[in-house]
Structure 1
Amino acid sequence: MSERFDVEQRWPELFEQLDEAKRRSVLNTLAADWHEGWIPNREDVENITDLARGAIDAAEYDRRSDEAAERRRRTVPAAG
C-alpha cells in the first residue's frame, strides 16, 4: 500500500467537475478501499468520478469495472 493517499493530487482533472459533496463522497470511498489495500490507479479513479458526476450510469460503471478486472486477471501470472 502506498504511504500516502494522494489520488486528488495525482489526477486533479478527474475531480474538477465534481461539487464539494460529490468530491468528498468519492474521496471517502476511495480512501476506504485504499485502507483495505487497494492501490490507486487512474482508470479506477476515472470510472468512479465519471459515475459520481453522471457521465456514466451504474451499468456502464459495472461494465468498465468488469472489463478492467478481466484485463488485470489475464496479465497477472497464476500462482503455483
Structure 2
Amino acid sequence: MDTFDIEQRWPELFEPLDDVQRTAVVQTLATSWHEGFTPTRDVVENLTAYAAGRIDETEYQRRSDAIAETARGRTTR
C-alpha cells in the first residue's frame, strides 16, 4: 500500500462507525502504517467491530491473536 487509503479500500467496514469511532480507528491504523505495518482486511474488520461495540475486548484479542498466527504461518512457508 503506497498511500494510506484505508477507508476507500473497505468503506463498508467504516459505515457503522460514528465520527469519533472512525477517527480513532483511522488514527490507530495510520500510526501502524507509518511504522511499516500494512493493515489487512481482517485487521481492519476486527478493529472496526471493536470500536463499534460489536465485540468485546476479549473477542478482539482472540481475533487479533488468530490474525497474527495466520500471518506468522504465511511468513514461515
TM-score by length of 1: 0.90
Quote the Cα distance in structure 1 between the aligned partners of 2:43 and 2:74: 17
Quote the Cα distance in structure 2 between the aligned partners of 1:14 and 1:76: 26
Deviation at 1:12, TM superposition (A): 0.2
Q: How many residue pairs end up in the alignment? A: 77
What is the match of residue 77 of structure 1?
A: 76
What is the match of residue 51 of structure 1?
A: 50
What is the match of residue 21 of structure 1?
A: 20
What's the CA shift string for 1:12-69, capped at 9, x where partnerless? 0000010011101110000000000011210000000000000000110000010111
Extract unaligned runs of 5+ from structure 2: none
What is the match of residue 62 of structure 2?
A: 63
Q: Does 1:36 align with 2:35?
A: yes
SS at match of 2:15: coil
Deviation at 1:70, TM superposition (A): 1.0
Amino acid at match of 1:38: F
Structure of larger gyration radius: 1
TM-score by length of 2: 0.94
* Coordinate RMSD, CA, aligned: 1.1
Quote the Cα distance in structure 2 between the aligned partners of 1:75 and 1:31: 23
